[in-house]
Amino acid sequence: MRSLFLSILSFFIVFPIFCQSNLSKETRKYVSHERGSYLLQNLTLIDGTGSAAKTNQDIIIKGDKIIQVGVDLKTPNGATVIDMTGKSVIPGLIMLHEHLFYPKSTPEQIYGVDQMSYSFPKLYLAAGVTSMRTAGSIMPQADVNIKKAINKGQTPGPNMDVTTPHLDREGLNIYELGPFDSAEQAVNAINFYADMGVTSVKVYNFITKDDLRAIVKAAHSRNMKVTGHLCSITYREAADIGIDNLEHGFFASSDFIKNKVENECQPFEMNKAMLETSVNAKIVSDLITHLVSKKVALTSTINVFEPYTNREVVPGGGIDALFTNAKEKVYKRWSSKQGKDSIDYVRFNKAKVWEKQFFDAGGLLVAGTDPTYDGRIVAGYANMRLLELFVEMGFTIPQTIQIASLNGAKYLEQENSLGTITATKIADLVLIDGDISKDISEIRNIETVFKNGIGYDSKKLFKAAEGLVGIR
């Protein structure tokens, strides 16, 4: 009973549902369908459960809820009927490794990030992301305030689970991150951020096992889950300690290093071990079995590692979203890497197989895009591209949608309200001008995104952020 209560309570803490009847003038600019009563007819539907697509489906929406899904539904009194012949629908995407920051347009050797408070929330929503976890903040107070503004209807964007800044010891020379010196400091930081309104915890490269034990205990006591981009600690060690989620598939796994030094980050050895470990190695299958048994989720950010050669400059097609300086930097790096990323291809293809093996073994694979690194990964556009890559990895289109919707809802413990197109659930829907059940790339033709029963014009949201990524 207590766990049920906490689950219900966490829904309102993480994703409070506001009536949003008083949308701001700014938000209304992007609304194509006010909250009301709708009958959407003749859709091709992928419901998010992993089941095969259904054709000629109708959906009734009333207020912020899905009322009924089926064939030839009777029009409710007062409902607006919209013929969707030739169009398809999927659940709102739930992405679990997103950020509201982007790399600075500075010399390559100086890495830093800037907050994208204006452009990124719009881009995420434009691409069908109706719920997201930030998986690391540089300005947590800004992220919390943006979340509040979205919930009040003051600005358009997804529902947000805001994560702490990357909790880490000294190691990475990133000025926007502040390292801690003791486990006690890390615990104090968790309580500070929890009091601020942050709802998840992120750990990073140089922490010790004792640090992680203290962090997991403190976070769980505040009903916060812990995710990690690890290096010093192996996936197996973190799973045994009680971490909830591991980031970047198996790219951040140090488990394959022979004679790994305890509590030490060894990035060169980690990359070398990944290259040398065979795709079907027993050490990999044993690790997957262990992670599944410990119920640790794995976030795929496979798009971050997509090679450069013969690929889009900005995967997903978002080059025009970039500010001039950012665009020049991205083009320069992309051009310099053409034909010179054969090792990247090897790791990329190996990681795709391992993530699929994790999913096939019953693991909870979730999705995220991590818009950092060299600037090619742009909010919204990267989310659409990620779905295309999942199909490239061997997932069916229904499985792809499941990973990006229901699986995210399960991780957030919101599957009773989000993640599938089912009667009684929140009306979070992505309407696509084309048949996504036959071609995953139709995801690039999003027409309307319903969030909490309000329909937003995808093209207007994308247009509003054009040329702004890198400055605001």
Per residue of the chain (472 residues), give pLDDT as tens. Answer: 334 334 434 444 444 444 445 899 999 999 999 999 999 999 999 999 999 999 999 999 999 999 999 999 999 999 999 999 999 999 999 999 999 999 987 666 678 899 999 999 999 999 999 999 999 999 999 999 999 999 999 999 999 999 999 999 998 778 888 899 999 999 999 999 999 999 999 999 999 999 999 999 999 999 999 999 999 999 999 999 999 999 999 999 999 999 999 999 999 999 999 999 999 999 999 999 999 999 999 999 999 999 999 999 999 999 999 999 999 999 999 999 999 999 999 999 999 999 999 999 999 999 999 998 889 999 999 999 999 999 999 999 999 999 999 999 999 999 999 999 999 999 999 999 999 999 999 999 999 999 999 999 999 999 999 999 999 9
Q: Does residue 281 sit in the same domain as residue 323?
A: yes
19 occurs within a structural domain: no
CATH code at position 36: 2.30.40.10
Q: What is the pTM of this model?
A: 0.95
Q: In terms of residue numbers, what domain contains 148?
A: 93-411
Q: What local confidence, expressed as pLDDT, does residue 111 receive?
A: 82
> For residue 207, which of 229, 239, 222 has the smallest C-alpha distance?
229
Per DSSP, the three-state class of 130 is strand
Q: Does any domain span residue 232?
A: yes
**364, 216: one domain:** yes
Per the DSSP assignment, residues forming a β-bridge with 311 are none
For helices 282-293 and 342-360, angle between their N-to-C axes, nearest 10 degrees:
50
Strand ranges, E, within 20-170? 31-33, 37-45, 54-62, 65-70, 80-83, 88-91, 93-95, 101-103, 113-115, 129-133, 159-161, 163-167
- Residues 125, 140, single domain; the answer is yes
Same domain, 126 and 43: no
C-beta separation of 291 from 239 below 8 A: yes
> CA 124 to CA 214: how far, in whole Å?
33
Q: Verify that 156 and 61 share a domain, yes or no.
A: no
Report d(CA 272, CA 305) in Å as an integer. 16
The dihedral region occupied by 14, where left means phi > 0, alpha psi between -120 and 50, and beta the remainder, is alpha
Is residue 6 in a domain?
no
**Together in a domain, 372 and 230:** yes
Residue 425 and residue 453: Cα distance in Å, rounded? 10
Q: Are residues 48 and 74 in the same domain?
A: yes
By CB atoms closer than 10 A (0-12, 13-18, 19+), residue 223 is middle
Same domain, yes or no: 70 and 98: no
The answer as to whether 360 is a domain residue is yes
The reply to whether 53 and 144 lie within a common domain is: no
Whole-angstrom Cα distance, residue 161 to residue 139?
A: 14
Total number of domains constituting the chain: 2
